[in-house]
């Protein structure tokens, strides 16, 4: 069970959005590399990074900040935002990204995901961000007519490493993860699912470790870590104890 601390990049800075709205961004650190080092020092073992500008532009926009992070941390980094062709996937993986996350292109170009997952086994994840059950694309600016399950099922035998499922309505609002929808998705597919959006407190970490969530690979923590509602030491100790048991 992995708790992924999140670094969202906007204009080279580390921010958190509310419900994916770029106009509702709070800057938490001007230096993303320093933030990555801080998470490493706290004992986290896997970093989740999103290039927000890239998600809107359809191409990498915060490459400098990502590369700076890769230089200073040894832990694996998964990266999403603006990754929409094989060349970009290849470029990031060759630079040291452990796993790329494909979002918009998973809806618009499923063949790309299948080809990438086959070419780079275990290194391609799919990001499914849902608003009222329907998947949103283009940095959440547009809603599609398909559900997260519809899309996840397309990739059942493609070799996708994980599905990152975000409930947009809860993202950045500290309302708690939508466990029912996330666990229902995990139980309906064989691909590991990572919960995202709204992780608010140690109670969410306890739910993550409960038997009902045993099909999940982990969860992403953002704002709760930045504003002190979630104590990293307490959360990681709980996870460590659960693994030892």
List 8, 53, 167, 204, catalytic entry: 8
Q: Which residues pair with 9 in a beta bridge?
A: 14, 51
β-pair partners for 27:
15
Instruction: Round to whole Å and give the CA distance between 99 and 80.
Output: 9
What distances in angstroms separate CA 150 from CA 33, 130, 236, one per listed residue? Answer: 37, 12, 33
Catalytic residue among 53, 129, 167, 171: 129
Q: Is 8 a catalytic residue?
A: yes
Contact 164, 182 (CB under 8 A): no
**In angstroms, rounded to a whole number, what is the distance separating the alpha carbons of residues 97 and 77?**
6
Number of other CB atoms surrounding residue 188 within 10 Å: 13
Active centre residues (catalytic): 8, 129
């Amino acid at each position: 069970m992995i708790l992924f601390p999140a670094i969202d990049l906007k204009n080279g800075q580390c921010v958190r959005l509310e419900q994916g709205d770029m106009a509702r961004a709070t800057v938490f650190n001007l230096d993303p590399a320093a933030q990555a080092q801080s998470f490493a020092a706290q004992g986290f073992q896997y970093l989740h990074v999103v290039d927000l500008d890239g998600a809107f532009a359809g191409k990498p926009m915060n490459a400098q900040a990502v590369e700076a992070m890769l230089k200073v941390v040894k832990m694996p980094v998964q990266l999403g935002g603006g990754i929409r062709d094989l060349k970009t996937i290849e470029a990031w993986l060759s630079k040291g990204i452990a796993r790329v996350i494909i979002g918009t292109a998973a809806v618009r170009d499923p063949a790309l995901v299948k080809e990438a997952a086959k070419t780079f086994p275990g290194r391609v994840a799919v990001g499914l961000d849902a608003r009222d059950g329907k998947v949103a694309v283009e940095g959440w600016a547009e809603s599609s007519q398909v559900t997260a399950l519809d899309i996840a099922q397309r990739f059942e035998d493609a070799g996708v490493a994980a599905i990152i499922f975000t409930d947009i309505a809860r993202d950045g609002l500290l309302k708690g993860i939508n466990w029912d929808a996330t666990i229902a998705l995990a139980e309906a597919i064989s691909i590991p699912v990572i919960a995202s959006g709204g992780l608010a407190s140690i109670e969410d970490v306890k739910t993550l470790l409960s038997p009902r969530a045993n099909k999940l690979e982990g969860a992403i923590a953002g704002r709760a870590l930045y504003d002190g509602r979630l104590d990293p030491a307490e959360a990681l100790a709980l996870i460590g104890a659960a693994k030892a048991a």
